[in-house]
Amino acid sequence: MTDAAELRTLVHEFLAAHPPAATGHADFLRARFDAGLAWVHYPRGLGGLGASRPLQSVVDAELAAADAPDNDPRRIGIGLGMAAPTILAYGSDDVKRRFLRPLWVGEEVWCQLFSEPGAGSDLAALSTRAVRDGDDWIVDGQKVWTSSAHTARWAILIARTDPELPKHRGITYFICDMTHPGVDVRPLRQITGEAEFNEVFLTGVRIPDAHRLGEVGDGWNVARTTLMNERVSIGGGRIPREGGMIGPVARTWRERPELRTHDLHQRLLTLWVEAEVARLAGERLRQQLAAGRPGPEGSAMKLAFARLNQEISGVEVELRGEEGLLYDDWTMRRPELVDFTGRDAGYRYLRSKGNSIEGGTSEVLLNIVAERVLGLPSEPRGDKDIAWKDLAR
């Protein structure tokens, strides 16, 4: 199906059969998935219609006009933006059928078990081990900076399965059950006073081989699919004009003329234009994406997102003066999601510092853009062909 008019007709028929006001929230979302209106570019039977990706906006607009419930995408962003496209690209038919529907409906929250205390920017240096035991794998190790681990039912996990190979070639990708008794989730308190992140200890965690994504030892290539999707979901999300961080500071400027200065006016104008350019570039990027196969351009979007958030939040604090330093709640909280726009300016300023780390550090993303977008020579890598077990740690 490639015709927008035909798709609108399908949506109207769906709404007639499932009136939002008379259908339970979860029942409506399950029916929407089954009708192929969840991800229209996914295959039939997996939430889609095999249509082109841009047609999703047609579905979303018609459902929004009908005041239909959504799946709270911010709460399940890791599942939608990272786990789902990776499962679609590498999962078996059974895995796709088992996980995609409850993931999209929001019945099961996901987290990402990638980074480790000794493997952050150099993720391929990870040391969490997975050892084959019949039809299962036994996993031991530690992960860190894991968003939503305290609420997640499932996790996408990479672990080392062959230490005899160079670091990029001995990794395998799995789906991990977060309710396994060997999974220990502990909070990490941030500069904001909250603990949205966690460290996760894995001790004798048993994972069936059926929950492996991709071939044994090919986990790095699978992980790259996840990471590229992550950067698109972080830096290229669909937002309206003056959405995101630029919105609150623009409103303050309009509503509080006594705070204005010429210098801040010029800086805010520049940032407003840059935020709008980034927003429109994100729209173009989404139109070019094939299902589950984004390119390195998402790294550039995530770079721009991090820089803009930090500069905009800094201007907002300056604009508000002493008032901008206030932050209403330093108590230890365990939020399910990050709210950049519904909190104080002080919170936004502090939380945006993490934007240049999460989803790939800005330094690593600059290398990706240089090498894979601009075609510049790669940096020398002396450990590329050395067995992982022989690397200095």
Exposure class string for 115-141: b at 16+ Cβ within 10 A, else e? bbeebbeebbbbbbbbeeeeebbbbbb
Nearest residue to 78 (alpha-carbon basis) of 229, 180, 185: 229
For residue 382, is it within any domain?
Answer: no
**What pLDDT is attached to residue 291?**
41
- pLDDT tens digits for range 202-239: 999 999 999 999 999 999 999 988 887 765 555 455 67
**What pLDDT is attached to residue 290?**
43
126 and 164 within one domain: yes
276 and 206 within one domain: no
Residue count (the chain): 393
Phi-psi region of 112 (alpha: psi -120 to 50; beta: other; left: phi over 0): beta
Angle between helices 297-320 and 262-288 (to 10 degrees): 160
- pLDDT tens digits for range 149-198: 999 999 999 999 999 999 999 999 999 999 999 999 999 988 888 888 89
**What pLDDT is attached to residue 225?**
87
Evaluate if residue 360 carries a pLDDT over 50.
Answer: yes
% of the chain residues with pLDDT over 90: 62
pTM score, two decimals? 0.85
The residue that leads in pLDDT, 278 or 20, is 20
**What pLDDT is attached to residue 384?**
78
Number of domains the chain contains: 3
The residue that leads in pLDDT, 109 or 301, is 109
- Catalytic residue numbers read 230
Mean pLDDT estimate for the chain? 89
Q: How many CA atoms lie within 13 A of 168 on its CB side?
A: 8
For residue 318, is it within any domain?
Answer: yes
Q: How many CA atoms lie within 13 A of 336 on its CB side?
A: 11
For residue 385, is it within any domain?
Answer: no
**What pLDDT is attached to residue 305?**
85
348 and 249 within one domain: yes
For residue 190, is it within any domain?
Answer: yes
Evaluate if residue 352 carries a pLDDT over 60.
Answer: yes
Evaluate if residue 337 carries a pLDDT over 70.
Answer: no
**What pLDDT is attached to residue 234?**
56
Evaluate if residue 246 carries a pLDDT over 50.
Answer: yes
- pLDDT tens digits for range 24-62: 999 999 999 999 999 999 999 999 999 988 889 899 999
Q: With bands split at pLDDT 50, 70 and 90, how would you rate the model's confidence at 292?
A: very low
**What pLDDT is attached to residue 302?**
81
Q: Would you give the distance in Å from CA 52 to the centre of its chain? A: 22
**What pLDDT is attached to residue 20?**
96
104 and 12 within one domain: no
241 and 205 within one domain: no
CA distance 282 to 238: 7
Cβ atoms of 13 and 35 within 8 Å: the answer is no
204 and 88 within one domain: yes
Q: What is the CATH number of the domain that holds 276?
A: 1.20.140.10
Q: What is the CATH number of the domain that holds 160?
A: 2.40.110.10
- Point out the domain boundary residue: 219, 249, 276: 219
247 and 286 within one domain: yes
325 and 209 within one domain: no
209 and 260 within one domain: no
Range of the structural domain that residue 21 is part of: 4-65
